[in-house]
A and B are shown apart, each in its own frame.
Chain A
Amino acid sequence: MGLSARLGARAHPDVYTGTVTISTLAEADDRVVAGRAADGDPKAFEVLVRRYSGLMRVYARSILGSNDEVEDVVQESFVTAWKQLESLKDPGAIKSWLMRIVSRRSIDRLRRRREHDDIDEHDRPTREDTSPPRIAETRALTSALGTALATLPPAQRRCWLLREVAEYSYREIALDLEIPETTVRGLISRARTNIVREMQAWR
């Protein structure tokens, strides 16, 4: 009967993180913090949670069109991120990588809400949607862009956000939203036209 042991599986958390404090870690840039988190340091990961949860909330809220599920979506996104972090090739690209995860999670929620019909009716006017009053409440309507976004039909807004913020290709958007690529191309073009016009109206 052999003796078998493996150090590490239940090692004390300090083994992974050492004695450096979170506020010291927070001084380092994304490449260092995300690289360290990818190596399994929970403290470094906590720095990422504090650094990016605000941006992820704003973004998820824009995609979902309401505040309801935002906290859950962002939490789930971070748990997913931790599990997949080892596969992150470029720690300096952590921000867009996190945005892609929160995109995917938000879209999963939309799907669960059974909003297929809504997405199929690409250009349904926003005022029929139940969400804009909520958006107006939750989003700081201080910017012309925020206002322009809030008036977009949901399908235009989503496609445009996925393209512009999460840097999805048209093909990826088409696959995730289950709509044809040509439709994605048209929705993004119309979203841009509408946003630019709306913002010109603010001048």
Chain B
Amino acid sequence: MEPHEPAPDADQPDAPHEEADLPGPSLWPLGFAIGIVVILVGLIINPLVISTIGAVIAIVCGALWARDATAELRGKPVVVDPERRELGPAAEGETPPAGQQAAAPPAAEESFPRDRFLEGATIGLGALIGGIVTVPIVGFAVAPSFLGQKGHRVDLGPISTFPEGDWYIATFVTDPAEADVSNRTAFIRNNGIYQNEPSFTIISNRCAHLGCPVQANGPTGSILGKKTIQEHTASGPVTLVPVVPAGFGCPCHGGQYDTEGNHTAGPPVRALDRWSFEINHGRLILLSLYSVSHVDGTGAQALIHKYKLAGPGEHVDGPEQWFYPLQPPHS
């Protein structure tokens, strides 16, 4: 089929007449408009040179436009892509002439009509703009939770406050800017000097099941005949409550731990987390938390199976650890 032939249903009443009087599509009006714009811009910048260029563009394009528009009047063939449209019910009812498949629309022809272009352009541009706008918004919603997380050193006061072998429930503030919300609790025992260095057991009170506050199983406070110590250090108020724990237990779902933080009963999946620490000018400084699968031995001789900090309820050893291959950035 020749591309310039009218569509096969051209003899149908609706199809041909509406196009017949219209001039064919032309790009020259666009060039003409650009020429006018250049003239106007030239009037501001450089009337002599730029406006002249604009005038030339406008005249050339205008002439070509006029040539295109009058092509039909001058009897020249107009190059128009045939528009594709569905056959009406009337056309379907017709029987095609023998030997010619008149009912087949000109589907095989390459055609990219204007409305399809506009459709695609609208959707494409919309998607582009949507994407450009969405990326920073989603980034702002998500990224601050993961980037720039800062750790805080916590000063718990001179190590002489911790008599050897005694347990204390230490409550302190990890981030002075957050005040009460950053209150944390740890169970601390001075293990004495081991290999010429002071040794401490510092167990976080966050349950390894789902993060509830674990309690010491045993008498606390004045019943022991020891004083509760209130200090004010560089990192805020610190409270040390004496305690004699037989172990630690969680009130939420009944997880139980021994005094080394080993999981002994209930739903927790590992031992209690611990704080790493340093002794700086005779003061006990908490650094950061790490996770523990289990502890062999006790006190200063304990062998701690240490892992990077994982969230409560996440296994750090055994086959289940493969469920948590990546951890979000931590301080």
| B is bound to A | no
Interface residues, chain A, with chain B CB atoms under 8 Å away? none
Query: B residues near A, CB below 8 A?
Result: none
